[in-house]
Structure 1
Amino acid sequence: MTEVPPVALSTLTTLRAGGVPERMIEARTADELVAALREVWATGDPWFVLGGGSNLLVGDEPFPGTVVRILTRGIETLPAAREGFVRLRVQAGHDWDAFVGDTVERGLAGVEAMSGIPGTVGAAPVQNIGAYGQEIVQTLVEVELIDEATGEVSTVPAAELGLGFRTSVLKHHHGSVPERRAVILSVTVELAVIGDAPRRIHGDQLRTALGLQPGDAVTLTFVREQVRQIRRRKGMVLDDADPDTWSAGSFFQNAVVSASFARTLPAECPRWPVEPDFDPVVVVPLAGFDGSVPRLSTAESDVKVSAGWLIEQSGIRKGFKLPRSRAAVSTKHALALTNRGGATADEIAELARFIQGRVHAEFGLLLQPEPVLVGVDL
């Protein structure tokens, strides 16, 4: 590991906001990362890790602790238990989109719809990233991580990470602490080997986004290129020349609400059902069996509703900004809050609070921020 002169976090985050930390360490190998974290944890000082800086809003005041930059890189190919699949172990600091591009070049399917998402591979399981019907949970096998409580390195199966809609046991949600305080060192995924032959797209969400009919067959390269174009049109592909991309992507999460609450929203509000949890097995003791089978739970499944639609229908249009503020809603995407040049974290937070208030007043729903907030609150 290398201790380096601290620089303003506004230069290392895609929202371009954040003060100078007290201390900064760079880790370029997994061993350096482990050593850096153990050393920082031993001090008891405040800390956080920084990968691509694409899902982070840092306060303007100097951070009173250590920032550990994860700069590890590398992809290792491993055998898979299933025929026609391959496993890849990827270092946490590897650029996510570069990794996706590599899988497409190899003819490996499973993450191509997540092309263009900024950030690092290690951050992907933390919030179970996803796009157009694909999520990392669908291909994730395991992660190697180090726990803050013990300083021990372990390999944890995906099933133990509590992966859900943009969440995991590792996620630092707004207003709470992670269930498990740990840092991912590497990620292992299992992908299908399909080569460059065209194939049908089975997911409705991706097929609709690409303008395909159910029988259309396309290559992985086509999917990646089209998804990147869609994201670029929305200002979701980083571009130094385009302030609409100076953001943390979607600032607010699409809300998951009860079916009954969803019925209180306007019928035009886009919504998608969330898979219900059914009782997989009902055990009836033989001694007490009277010939009848207990009725299974038939509770309605939750519903995911569009935060972007709610924002626009509350009167917040694309390009909206508060008077004299240098923060604004993207001109391309209502869910993205952007830094138009020189905006402070306080200005971005002020805009976020205003949007939350408008949506809550109009629809009775408090939108939750997606980025991790450090030294700033809503």
Structure 2
Amino acid sequence: MLDTVPSSDVRTTRTVSPDQLRDLLAETGAVVHDSVRLSELTTLRVGGPALVAECGSTETLVATVRALDAAGIAVLLVAGGSNLLVDDAGFDGVVVRVATTGVEFGADGVTAEAGANWDELVAATVGQGLGGLECLSGIPGSVGATPVQNVGAYGVEVESLLRRVRLLDRATGAVRWAAPAELGFGYRTSVLKHSDAAVVLAVELGLDPSGMSAPLRYGELARVLGAEAGDRRPVARVREEVLRLRAGKGMVLDAADHDTWSAGSFFTNPVVTDDRLPQVMAAITAHLGEVNVPTYPAPEGAKLSAGWLIERAGFAKGFPGEQSPARLSTKHTLALTNRGAANAADIVALARTVRDGVYERFGVLLEPEPVTVGVNV
């Protein structure tokens, strides 16, 4: 799931009076909202109060971030709110709400502003007969967050489609386009993640005008489409199946379904280096016997399935039970969910229990995927 563009600012907040802050923001064109609970802006639906400066244009966004940085005021950038876990105390600074929504199509690509809704963009590309993004259907959040964490699903990553990213350099105030080679992409990461050095303003993606999907690489998706690995299918058909698969795992937002009150996959699939892999496999065998362990090639070694490890460590869907305000999804053990009354502390406690249980059993440390503000998992 997608969220901030990029992560929260770690700079020290200077003391500024409310009147001074309002005067500063009035000059940038931002719309100011007092004491907004961040639970209203995040898909986990937790997080305390903050002052929000809503930026409806790129010009306003740039001016607002520049002004707050010059004044030494801490900034938290929020767009879709789908990959963000904020402390119950809120945020002591200014939340800059990225509400830019412009989209421009070309014959073989699209350029979208950072605040544009990601799944609406994917749907629009499919409607235009442009292939490439269909496997990334149903992911909540904003366009600007996709290069930050190199969003991927069903065998496709944003890195493979990215032409360039428009960035605001917060050290210099300069705005420029950056090539993919500058962004240091890896599995669910980039140089932009967990950094306050730059703000994503827009993203340009290259797409296929043939109306056919990217080559299918994910076995489950290929099977439901009656395809072999590497085959292609009409983009609308692929999008339909991806949405169906994601919904079955509680990964398509639905306000009535608490399984979707989450940050999506809470832990990334761990990569175990070649030198540690025998030790991990031995621990798995010791606890489970001879089993087939799902592994995937990775540059540093082998990537394991976090969901598989969580389940084999004894954490079932719905753990720890119906009385708990925060539970694993009833559809997908990789999602930590708010059942309606959870706070940030509840989510953190559940995350630590699952992480520690997997480590104690298999010696694999799961890393959280969401950006955290004021809390440590």
TM-score class, shorter: 0.7 to 0.9
Alignment match of 1:149 (pick from 155, 165, 171)? 171
Alignment pair present for 1:255 and 2:270? yes
Alignment match of 2:227 (pick from 213, 220, 227)? 213
Corresponding residue SS for 2:263: coil
1:151-198 CA-to-partner distances (Å, cap 9, x unmatched) read 1111111110001100000001xxxxx2x6111000001101113xx6
1:193-238 CA-to-partner distances (Å, cap 9, x unmatched) read 113xx67944244644535232976311110010001000000000
Scaled by the length of structure 2, the TM-score of the pair is: 0.86
Larger-gyration structure (1/2): 1
Question: Residue in 1 aligned with 2:121?
Answer: 99
Question: Residue in 1 aligned with 2:156?
Answer: 134
Counterpart AA for 1:213: A
Alignment pair present for 1:42 and 2:66? no
Question: Residue in 2 aligned with 1:55?
Answer: 83
Corresponding residue SS for 1:102: helix
CA distance in 2, matches of 1:235, 1:115: 14
Q: Give the C-alpha shift of residue 259 in structure 1.
A: 2.7
Question: Residue in 1 aligned with 2:368?
Answer: 369
Q: Give the C-alpha shift of residue 327 in structure 1.
A: 0.3
1:250-308 CA-to-partner distances (Å, cap 9, x unmatched) read 0000001113433332452211002x4xxxxxxxxxxxxxxxxxxxxxxxx51110000
Q: Give the C-alpha shift of residue 357 in structure 1.
A: 0.7
Corresponding residue SS for 1:163: coil
CA distance in 2, matches of 1:34, 1:199: 35
Corresponding residue SS for 1:40: helix
Q: Give the C-alpha shift of residue 40 in structure 1.
A: 1.2
Equivalent positions of 1:184-333 (< 5 A) are 184-195=200-211, 201-205=215-219, 207-208=221-222, 210-214=224-228, 218-263=233-278, 264-265=280-281, 266=284, 267-274=291-298, 276=299, 301-321=300-320, 325-333=324-332
Question: Residue in 1 aligned with 2:8?
Answer: none
CA distance in 2, matches of 1:324, 1:217: 46
Alignment check: 8 A CA contact 1:201 1:207 kept? no
CA distance in 1, matches of 2:146, 2:253: 17
Alignment check: 8 A CA contact 1:128 1:137 kept? yes
Question: Residue in 2 aligned with 1:358?
Answer: 357
Question: Residue in 1 aligned with 2:24?
Answer: none
Equivalent positions of 1:12-27 (< 5 A) are 12-21=41-50, 23-27=51-55
Alignment check: 8 A CA contact 1:133 1:206 kept? no
CA distance in 1, matches of 2:271, 2:158: 19
1:104-128 CA-to-partner distances (Å, cap 9, x unmatched) read 1111111110000010000000000
Corresponding residue SS for 2:262: coil
CA distance in 2, matches of 1:236, 1:107: 25
CA distance in 1, matches of 2:223, 2:263: 22
Alignment check: 8 A CA contact 1:269 1:310 kept? no
Identity %: 47
Alignment check: 8 A CA contact 1:328 1:351 kept? yes
Alignment check: 8 A CA contact 1:257 1:304 kept? yes
CA distance in 2, matches of 1:314, 1:53: 30
Alignment check: 8 A CA contact 1:162 1:169 kept? yes
Give unmatched runs, 5+ long, in structure 2: 1-29, 285-290
Question: Residue in 1 aligned with 2:141?
Answer: 119
Counterpart AA for 2:105: T
CA distance in 2, matches of 1:135, 1:206: 17
Q: Give the C-alpha shift of residue 377 in structure 1.
A: 0.8
Q: Give the C-alpha shift of residue 323 in structure 1.
A: 8.9
Closer/same/farther in 2, CA of residues 242 and 209 from structure 1, 3 Å limit:
farther
- Aligned pair count reads 338
Alignment check: 8 A CA contact 2:129 2:209 kept? yes
CA distance in 2, matches of 1:232, 1:129: 18
Corresponding residue SS for 1:360: helix
Question: Residue in 2 aligned with 1:287?
Answer: none
